[in-house]
Structure 1
Amino acid sequence: MSRIVGIDLGTTNSLVAYMEGDQPRVIPNAEGRVIVPSIVSFLETGYVVGDSAKEQLITNAEKTVYSIKRFMGLGLQDLRHELQYFPYTLAEQNSVVTVQIGSNEFTPPEISAMILKELKKRAETFLGEPITQAVITVPAYFNDAQRQATKDAGRIAGLHVARIVNEPTAASLAHGLQHKQQGLIAVYDLGGGTFDISILKLKDGIFEVLATNGNTHLGGDDFDRQIVQLMAKEIQNQFELDVTQHVALIQNMRIAAEAAKCHLTSDETTLIALPLPEEKGTYTRDLNRTDFEALIKELVTDTVVRCHFALSDAGLSASEIDNVIMVGGATRTPLVRQMIEKAFKRVPHTDINPDEVVALGAAVQGGILAGGVQDMLLLDVTPLSLGIEGLGGTVNSLIRRNTTIPTQAKEVYTTSADNQTAVVIHVLQGERELAKDNRSLAQFNLPLPPAPAGFPRIEVNFMIDANGILKVAARDLQTGQSQSVDVKPSYGLTDDAVEGMIQDSIKFAEADVAERLAIEARNEMDALEKATVKILAEEKGVLEESECNQIEQALKVLRDTRGQSDHRVLRKAIDELNSAAKHLAEVAMDHQLKAALENKKVSEVIS
Structure 2
Amino acid sequence: MRLLAIDFGTSNTVAVARGADGRARPLLFDGTPLLPSAVCLDPAGTPLTGRDAFRAARLDPARFEPAPKRRIDDGAVLLGDREMPVTELVGVVLRRVAVEAYRQLGGVDEVRLTHPARWGERRRGVLADAARAAGLPPPRLVAEPVAAAAYYPAVLGAAVPPGRALAVYDLGGGTFDAAVVRRGTAGFDVLAESGLTDLGGLDFDQALVEHLGRGYAGGRTELWQGLLGPTDPGRRRARELLYDDVRAAKELLSRAASADLHLPALDLRAHLTRDELESLIRRQLQQTVGCLAGTIAAARLDPADLAGIFLVGGSSRIPLAARLIHAELGVAPTTLEQPETVVAEGALRLDDPPALPGTPAPPRIRAVPVPAAPLPAPAAAPVGAGAAARVVPARSDNPAPLRSGPAAPVRLGLPGAEPAEPAGRFWTGTSGLVWTWALALLVVVALVVLVAVVATGPG
Q: TM-score, normalised by structure 1?
A: 0.51
For 2:33 and 2:349, the matched residues in 1 are separated by 17
Distance 1:107 1:256, change over 3 A: farther
1:137 deviates by 1.0
1:210 deviates by 1.9
- The secondary structure found in structure 1 opposite 2:119 is coil
- The secondary structure found in structure 2 opposite 1:238 is coil
> What residue identity is the alignment partner of 1:100?
L
For 2:198 and 2:87, the matched residues in 1 are separated by 17
Q: Which residue of 2 aligns with 1:246?
A: 230
Q: Which residue of 1 aligns with 2:190?
A: 209
For 2:260 and 2:303, the matched residues in 1 are separated by 38
Are 2:141 and 1:152 equivalent residues in the alignment?
Answer: no
- The secondary structure found in structure 1 opposite 2:339 is coil
Distance 1:319 1:124, change over 3 A: same
Deviation sequence 1:500-523 (CA, Å, 0-9, x none): xxxxxxxxxxxxxxxxxxxxxxxx
For 1:351 and 1:284, the matched residues in 2 are separated by 32
For 1:338 and 1:221, the matched residues in 2 are separated by 21
Alignment of 1:123-522 (within 5 A): 123-129=101-107, 131=108, 133-178=110-155, 179=157, 181-182=159-160, 183-202=164-183, 206-232=187-213, 238-241=219-222, 242-243=225-226, 244-247=228-231, 248=236, 249-276=238-265, 281-282=266-267, 284-351=269-336, 353-365=338-350, 368=351
> What residue identity is the alignment partner of 1:268?
A
- The secondary structure found in structure 2 opposite 1:316 is coil
For 1:190 and 1:24, the matched residues in 2 are separated by 27
Name which one, 1 or 2, has greater alpha-carbon Rg.
Answer: 2
Distance 1:64 1:233, change over 3 A: farther
Unaligned residue ranges in structure 2 (runs of 5+): 356-459
For 2:197 and 2:324, the matched residues in 1 are separated by 20
CA RMSD, aligned part only?
A: 3.0
- The secondary structure found in structure 1 opposite 2:10 is coil
Are 2:71 and 1:71 equivalent residues in the alignment?
Answer: yes
Deviation sequence 1:449-498 (CA, Å, 0-9, x none): xxxxxxxxxxxxxxxxxxxxxxxxxxxxxxxxxxxxxxxxxxxxxxxxxx
Q: TM-score, normalised by structure 2?
A: 0.66
Alignment of 1:530-549 (within 5 A): none
Task: Tell me, yes or no, if the aligned pair for 1:142 and 1:216 is still in contact at 8 Å.
Answer: no
Distance 1:181 1:203, change over 3 A: farther
- The secondary structure found in structure 2 opposite 1:361 is helix
Distance 1:34 1:61, change over 3 A: same
1:350 deviates by 1.9
1:18 deviates by 3.2
1:360 deviates by 0.8
1:260 deviates by 2.0
Task: Tell me, yes or no, if the aligned pair for 1:168 and 1:327 is still in contact at 8 Å.
Answer: no
1:63 deviates by 4.0
Deviation sequence 1:89-144 (CA, Å, 0-9, x none): xxxxxxx461423x223244322211100111111111112x37522112223355
For 2:337 and 2:264, the matched residues in 1 are separated by 38
For 1:218 and 1:145, the matched residues in 2 are separated by 24
Deviation sequence 1:238-293 (CA, Å, 0-9, x none): 313133541514433322321221121112222232222xxxx4254322211211
Once the two structures are aligned, what percentage of the paired residues are identical? Answer: 27
Deviation sequence 1:509-560 (CA, Å, 0-9, x none): xxxxxxxxxxxxxxxxxxxxxxxxxxxxxxxxxxxxxxxxxxxxxxxxxxxx
> What residue identity is the alignment partner of 2:281?
I
Partner of residue 122 from structure 1, selected from 100, 107, 117: 100
1:40 deviates by 2.9
> What residue identity is the alignment partner of 2:316?
T
Deviation sequence 1:223-250 (CA, Å, 0-9, x none): 1122233345567653131335415144
Task: Tell me, yes or no, if the aligned pair for 2:242 and 2:264 is still in contact at 8 Å.
Answer: no
For 1:265 and 1:374, the matched residues in 2 are separated by 33
Q: Which residue of 1 aligns with 2:431?
A: none
Deviation sequence 1:375-399 (CA, Å, 0-9, x none): 99xxxxxxxxxxxxxxxxxxxxxxx
Deviation sequence 1:296-353 (CA, Å, 0-9, x none): 1121111111111111111111111221111111011111121122233232212473
Distance 1:192 1:24, change over 3 A: farther
Task: Tell me, yes or no, if the aligned pair for 1:27 and 1:126 is still in contact at 8 Å.
Answer: no
Distance 1:186 1:23, change over 3 A: farther
1:22 deviates by 10
Deviation sequence 1:402-423 (CA, Å, 0-9, x none): xxxxxxxxxxxxxxxxxxxxxx
Q: Which residue of 1 aligns with 2:396?
A: none
Q: Which has the higher strand share?
A: 1
Task: Tell me, yes or no, if the aligned pair for 1:41 and 1:48 is still in contact at 8 Å.
Answer: yes
> What residue identity is the alignment partner of 2:230?
H
